[in-house]
Amino acid sequence: MLLCGLACGCTSMRLERRTISQGSTLTDLQYDQVLNNLAMFACNPNSLAWHIRLNGGVVQLADQGQGFIGANLGGPGSVAPNIGLQANVVHQWNVDPVIEADDLELLQLAYRKAINPADADGSIRREAYDKIAELSAGYHIALTREVAFDMIETMSQSADSKKMAKLERIKAALEKLYTEIEEISETAQSYEDIEESAHAHHHLTKLEFLKEEIIRLTHETGDEAVEPVGAYYHPGRNVGLVDQAQDKIEALVKLVDDDNGLGEPNPFAMPWICGGSKKDVPRCACLVGHYHGCGCDCYVWVKPENAKTFRDFVLIILSLVPQDAQEALQTPSGVGAANSPSF
């Protein structure tokens, strides 16, 4: 009985320690795959990024024991005790590799921007805004004035005279739409206690129409073929999908925007990654990525002063390749089991 009680307590304590130990590896796994991707793109900017989603885990600890005492009653008296103990430990992460072409393209944009933060020719910025236009139309998300006008300014930098005229027409139309939306929003504030009235419903319907026009016009700024907005509108679409699309848009804007919204320079527009051979890696470097392939042996590392930028970049990567929509609405949970010995 004493051994049973002690074993029960030890099992619970060891389960707790092992659960915490496995949970602490989550950050290391996220960091390592991002660092190794950065090393691969430093070696070859035209690489295809890879990523695995961690969507759950299992920690199991099962203790089993048995014992018996045998006595020889037919001859010389003797007692033969026998005790056996067994412990089964399982640590497991459930992973889901990213295989969707659209998500892989977003990852490639992010890693190219990290390796080439200056983006002298503006190609990465244009591709990012082109993806933003696709997400906006595909998930029926109206962009803010600042994002829409930054998109038009970016697309104008490499546009010919015909495209420039089209962008100027779109910008003028968007200016009117945003102004009208602001006027409706200000008017609606004075009717807060009659939201169910026909007047409020009229404002809501008009507001929806104006936002659809914004979606249509901002999509036309991209390089893809224009399709009717109605083809993208799915009233019954999973709310999780729309939220994920919004997060992707915000992540891309953070990556290529000129500032961080506070008037400060965008940290992703300045070099924050170091690269070289193994002998170049400083001893104090704790964030190191490695890639070996195609005759290359590349190392990248992040200095302590750029650790925050790297952390924010990892969060951007996670926003660009979220869990499936069905899983996004649920909370992944681990399974823990502690079975006490049975004698």
* Angle at the Cα of 71 from the Cα atoms of 65 and 74, rounded to 5 degrees: 155
Reading the block at residue 195, the tokens are: 């939201």
Partners of 296 in beta bridges: 293
The whole-angstrom separation of Cα 48 and Cα 330 is 30
Residues 6+ apart with CB under 8 A from 164: 156
Reported pTM: 0.78
pLDDT at 269: 93
Reading the block at residue 240, the tokens are: 């999780």
Q: 64: which DSSP letter?
A: E
The whole-angstrom separation of Cα 280 and Cα 285 is 11
Q: How far is CA 159 from CA 164, 174, 221, 272, in A?
A: 6, 19, 11, 31
Residues 6+ apart with CB under 8 A from 294: 43, 44
- pLDDT per position in the chain (343 positions), as tens? 444 444 555 767 877 787 787 778 889 999 999 999 999 999 999 999 999 998 877 766 666 656 555 655 555 656 666 666 666 767 677 888 999 999 999 999 999 999 999 999 999 999 999 999 999 988 889 999 999 999 999 999 888 899 899 999 999 999 999 999 888 877 655 545 445 555 555 555 788 888 888 988 998 887 665 455 555 555 556 778 889 999 999 999 999 988 765 667 899 999 999 999 999 999 888 899 999 987 789 999 999 999 999 999 999 999 999 987 654 444 443 333 333 333 2
- Using DSSP, state whether 338 is helix, strand or coil: strand
Length of the chain measured in residues: 343
pLDDT at 328: 45
Largest CA distance in the chain: 111
Domains of the chain by residue range: 101-265+308-328
End-to-end CA distance of the chain, in Å?
Answer: 9
pLDDT at 240: 82
